[in-house]
C-alpha cells in the first residue's frame, strides 16, 4: 500500500480557513428535524465531526476504518442539502480525512476512492455550486486535487473540467486576494507534477498562465513604478526579498512553469507565446536575493534551451539579443551563491549563449526584434551598410519580410504608449530604407497592403519623431512616383 500524497500543508491561509471551520459546530439534529438532510447523512457527519475534530473518543478513532459506509453518505449529503453550513462542514470533513495524520484515515479514504473511482466523479459533480462562497470553493478544490494526485486516480477528463471551472478560475485570477490566489496556484502546481495532466493544463493555459506570469513579474512592475508613486499609491504586493506569502506565491508560480516545461512541446510553445515573460526572468534574477527564485528562473530558461525543444536556437538568440543575456549571466556568475547547482547552471547557460553569439549576425538581431515585436532603435535600423548588405532579404518569398513591416505598422499605428511610438518610428524608418533601395515593387506592395494610406495618416501624429519618419517615407514614395 503506497503512502498517500498529502498537499497544501504549508498554506497558512488555508489552515486558517480550516481552523475556523473546526471551531464551528453544525446543528445536525436540527437539520434532521426540519428534514433538510436525511437522518443517516446527518448521523455520519456528526459522528465524524466528533471523532476528527472534537476527539470525543480517541479509542474509537484508533479503530475507525473509512469505507463506503462513511464516504457515500457524505457525498449524498452534498448532493441533497441546501444548507450552506452543512455543505461547507462536509467538504471540510473530507479534507480532514485526506490530510489526516491519525492512524490510517487518509490511506483508508484514498483506498476507497481508488477502488471506487466513479465516486470521485460524483464528488466533483456535487461540488462547486453557484452559491458556494470562496472558502467552500477552496476546500472543494483541495479535495478534488488531493484525490487526482493519488496513484490509481488519474482522470484527465476531470482535470479538464476542473481547469475550466469558472468559480475556481475567478479566484485564481483575482491577485488582489493573494492568500486565495496562492492556494489556487498551489493546486495547479500539484496537478502539474503528474505527467499525464500537463497537456490538459497547457491546452487550457489561457485560464491561468497570464495570471501566473503576472505574479512572477509583478515585483518588476512595482520596482519600475515606485519612483513615480507616493507611499499611498504603492502596489499592495510584497517585496521580492522578504520571506513571506509573496515570495512563496512567486516561487510556486515559477515551479508550475518549470514543471510544464518538462514537456518539450509545451516548452516550445510557451517560450514562443510568452517570450517577453521569459526575458523578464533575467530581470527577476538580477533583483532577487532569494536563491530558490534564481534557481527556478535559470532552470526554466536552461530547460527551454535544450536541443530537444523545437525552436531552441531561436530562443537562445532572443535571450542574447533581446534579453541582454550574456552581460546578465556574467554578472550573476560573480555572485557568491551557496547553491552549487545554481552556480553550475549559470555557467552552463552562459556557455550556451556565448557559443551561439559567435555565429550571430546583425540580420539575426533584426529578425529577433521583428518576430518578438520588441522593436527599438538598435544598430541594424540605422546602419546603412546593414541595408545595402541585406536588402535582398526583404523581397524573398514574395516580399514576406517587407509585408511584415507593413503589417506591423498597421498593427501599431494607434499605439500611444512610449514603446508603441518607438515601434512606429522604427518601422517607418525601415520602410523608407526598403523603398529607397527597391523602389519599384516595394511601392506597389505598399499600396496593395494599404501601407501608403497609413503613412499619410501618420503625418498628422502628435509625436514629432513619428511625423518626421512618416515625412521621410512619404518623400521616398513621391520621389519614386515622379521619377
State phi, psi for 414 to the nearest 5 degrees.
-100, 10
pLDDT of residue 222: 58
* Residues 6+ away with beta carbon under 8 Å from 364: 317, 321
What share of the chain has pLDDT > 70, as a percent?
93
Angle at 274 between CA 271 and CA 279, to 5 degrees: 80
Q: How many CA atoms lie within 13 A of 178 on its CB side?
A: 18
pLDDT of residue 481: 53
Q: Is the pLDDT of residue 224 over 80?
A: no
State phi, psi for 369 to the nearest 5 degrees.
-65, -50
**Mean pLDDT along residues 443-458:** 91
pLDDT of residue 230: 39
Q: Is the pLDDT of residue 441 over 70?
A: yes
Same fold, 1-172 and 380-481: no
Q: Is the pLDDT of residue 7 over 80?
A: yes
Mean pLDDT of the residues in the chain: 89
Q: Is the pLDDT of residue 478 over 50?
A: yes
Nearest by Cα to 339 from 298, 287, 280: 298
**Mean pLDDT along residues 220-226:** 57
**Mean pLDDT along residues 291-302:** 96
What is the SS3 assignment for 305? coil
Nearest by Cα to 451 from 412, 420, 394: 412
Which three cell numbers, joined as nine digits, stand for 33? 428535524
Burial 405-431 (b: 16+ CB within 10 A, else e): bbebbeebbeeeeeebbbbbbbbbbbb
CB 287 within 8 A of CB 334: no
Q: Is the pLDDT of residue 243 over 60?
A: no
Q: Is the pLDDT of residue 205 over 90?
A: yes
Nearest by Cα to 194 from 250, 148, 251: 148
Q: Is the pLDDT of residue 228 over 70?
A: no
Q: What's the pLDDT band for 221 if we cut at 50, 70, 90?
A: low
**Mean pLDDT along residues 210-215:** 95
pLDDT of residue 223: 52
* Range name among 43-52, 53-62, 207-216, 351-360 with the lowest pLDDT average: 53-62
CB 43 within 8 A of CB 26: no
What is the spatial distance between Cα 20 and Cα 74, in angstroms, rounded to a whole number?
20
Nearest by Cα to 126 from 69, 82, 85: 82
What share of the chain has pLDDT > 90, as a percent?
73
What is the spatial distance between Cα 416 and Cα 441, in angstroms, rounded to a whole number?
31
What is the spatial distance between Cα 260 and Cα 192, in angstroms, rounded to a whole number?
6
Nearest by Cα to 256 from 154, 185, 180, 199: 185
What is the spatial distance between Cα 71 and Cα 94, in angstroms, rounded to a whole number?
8
What is the spatial distance between Cα 237 and Cα 218, in angstroms, rounded to a whole number?
8
Q: How many Å separate Cα 443 from the centre of its chain?
A: 43
Q: Is the pLDDT of residue 227 over 60?
A: no
What is the spatial distance between Cα 201 and Cα 175, in angstroms, rounded to a whole number?
20
CATH number of 380-481, picked from 2.10.260.10, 2.30.30.40, 1.25.40.150, 3.40.50.40 = 1.25.40.150
Q: What is the pLDDT of residues 49-90, one digit of tens each?
A: 888 887 755 677 777 889 999 999 999 999 999 999 999 999
DSSP single-letter state for residue 145: H
Q: Is the pLDDT of residue 289 over 80?
A: yes
Nearest by Cα to 22 from 169, 135, 121, 146: 135
Name the residue ranges covered by the structural domains of the chain. Answer: 1-172, 208-220+237-360, 380-481
Considering the segment(s) 208-220+237-360 as one domain, its CATH architecture is Alpha Horseshoe (1.25)
pLDDT of residue 56: 59
Q: How many CA atoms lie within 13 A of 213 on its CB side?
A: 17
Placement of cell 505598422 in the chain: 409
State phi, psi for 209 to the nearest 5 degrees.
-60, -45
Q: Is the pLDDT of residue 433 over 80?
A: yes
Q: Which fold has domain 1-172?
A: 1.25.10
pLDDT of residue 210: 96
* Range name among 3-7, 55-59, 141-145, 263-267 with the lowest pLDDT average: 55-59
Q: Is the pLDDT of residue 312 over 80?
A: yes
What is the spatial distance between Cα 433 and Cα 405, in angstroms, rounded to a whole number?
11
CA distances from 399 to 268, 474, 479 (A): 27, 20, 21
Euclidean distance between the first and final Cα of the chain, in Å?
A: 86
What is the spatial distance between Cα 431 and Cα 449, in angstroms, rounded to a whole number?
13
pLDDT of residue 57: 59
pLDDT of residue 226: 46
Burial status of residue 444 (CB atoms within 10 A of its CB: 0-12, 13-18, 19 or more): exposed
Higher pLDDT, 232 or 328: 328
Q: What's the pLDDT band for 17 if we cut at 50, 70, 90?
A: confident
Q: Is the pLDDT of residue 252 over 70?
A: yes
Q: Is the pLDDT of residue 31 over 60?
A: yes
What is the SS3 assignment for 322? coil
* Range name among 59-68, 308-317, 388-397, 414-423 with the lowest pLDDT average: 59-68
**Mean pLDDT along residues 318-333:** 92
What is the spatial distance between Cα 224 and Cα 218, in angstroms, rounded to a whole number?
10
What is the spatial distance between Cα 409 and Cα 454, in angstroms, rounded to a whole number?
8
pLDDT of residue 343: 94
CA torsion 446-451-453-459 (nearest 10°) is -110
What is the spatial distance between Cα 241 and Cα 388, in angstroms, rounded to a whole number?
49
* Range name among 58-67, 96-105, 422-431, 469-478 with the lowest pLDDT average: 58-67
What is the spatial distance between Cα 21 and Cα 99, in angstroms, rounded to a whole number?
15
* Residues 6+ away with beta carbon under 8 Å from 359: none
Q: Is the pLDDT of residue 42 over 80?
A: yes
Nearest by Cα to 84 from 21, 151, 157: 21
Amino acid at each position: 500500500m503506497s503512502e498517500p500524497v498529502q498537499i497544501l500543508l504549508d498554506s497558512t491561509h488555508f489552515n486558517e480557513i480550516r481552523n475556523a471551520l473546526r471551531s464551528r459546530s453544525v446543528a445536525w439534529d436540527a437539520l434532521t428535524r426540519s428534514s433538510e438532510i436525511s437522518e443517516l447523512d446527518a448521523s455520519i457527519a456528526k459522528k465524524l465531526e466528533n471523532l476528527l475534530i472534537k476527539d470525543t473518543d480517541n479509542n474509537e478513532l484508533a479503530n475507525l476504518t473509512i469505507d463506503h459506509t462513511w464516504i457515500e453518505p457524505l457525498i449524498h449529503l452534498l448532493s441533497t442539502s441546501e444548507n450552506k453550513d452543512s455543505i461547507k462542514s462536509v467538504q471540510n470533513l473530507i479534507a480532514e480525512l485526506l490530510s489526516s495524520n491519525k492512524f490510517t484515515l487518509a490511506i483508508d479514504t484514498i483506498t476507497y476512492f481508488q477502488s471506487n473511482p466513479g465516486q470521485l466523479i460524483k464528488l466533483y459533480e456535487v461540488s462547486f455550486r453557484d452559491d458556494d462562497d470562496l472558502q467552500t470553493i477552496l476546500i472543494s478544490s483541495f479535495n478534488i486535487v488531493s484525490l487526482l494526485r493519488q496513484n490509481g486516480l488519474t482522470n484527465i477528463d476531470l482535470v479538464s473540467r476542473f481547469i475550466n471551472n469558472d468559480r475556481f478560475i475567478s479566484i485564481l485570477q483575482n491577485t488582489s486576494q493573494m492568500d486565495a490566489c496562492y492556494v489556487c496556484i498551489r493546486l495547479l502546481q500539484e496537478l502539474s507534477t503528474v505527467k499525464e495532466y500537463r497537456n490538459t493544463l497547457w491546452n487550457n493555459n489561457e485560464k491561468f498562465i497570464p495570471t501566473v506570469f503576472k505574479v512572477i513579474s509583478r515585483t518588476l512592475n512595482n520596482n519600475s513604478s515606485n519612483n513615480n508613486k507616493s507611499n499611498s499609491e504603492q502596489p499592495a504586493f510584497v517585496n521580492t526579498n522578504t520571506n513571506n506569502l509573496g515570495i512563496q506565491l512567486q516561487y510556486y508560480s515559477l515551479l508550475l512553469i518549470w514543471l510544464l516545461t518538462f514537456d518539450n512541446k509545451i516548452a516550445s510553445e510557451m517560450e514562443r507565446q510568452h517570450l517577453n515573460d521569459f526575458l523578464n526572468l533575467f530581470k527577476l534574477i538580477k533583483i532577487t536575493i532569494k536563491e530558490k527564485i534564481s534557481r527556478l528562473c535559470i532552470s526554466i530558461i536552461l530547460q527551454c534551451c535544450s536541443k530537444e525543444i523545437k525552436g531552441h536556437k531561436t530562443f537562445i538568440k532572443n535571450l542574447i539579443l533581446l534579453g541582454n543575456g550574456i552581460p546578465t549571466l556574467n554578472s550573476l556568475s560573480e555572485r557568491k551563491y551557496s547553491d552549487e547547482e545554481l552556480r553550475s547552471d549559470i555557467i552552463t547557460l552562459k556557455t550556451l549563449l556565448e557559443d551561439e553569439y559567435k555565429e550571430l549576425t546583425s540580420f539575426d538581431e533584426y529578425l529577433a526584434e521583428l518576430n518578438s515585436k520588441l522593436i527599438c532603435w538598435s544598430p541594424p535600423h540605422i546602419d546603412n551598410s546593414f541595408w545595402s548588405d541585406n536588402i535582398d532579404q526583404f523581397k524573398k518569398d514574395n516580399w514576406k519580410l517587407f509585408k511584415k513591416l507593413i503589417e506591423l505598422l498597421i498593427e501599431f499605428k494607434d499605439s500611444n504608449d512610449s514603446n508603441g511610438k518607438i515601434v512606429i518610428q522604427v518601422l517607418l524608418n525601415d520602410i523608407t530604407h526598403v523603398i529607397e533601395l527597391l523602389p519599384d515593387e516595394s511601392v506597389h506592395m505598399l499600396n496593395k497592403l494599404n501601407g501608403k494610406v497609413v503613412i499619410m495618416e501618420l503625418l498628422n501624429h502628435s509625436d514629432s519623431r513619428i511625423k518626421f519618419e512618416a515625412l521621410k517615407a512619404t518623400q521616398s514614395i513621391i520621389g519614386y512616383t515622379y521619377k
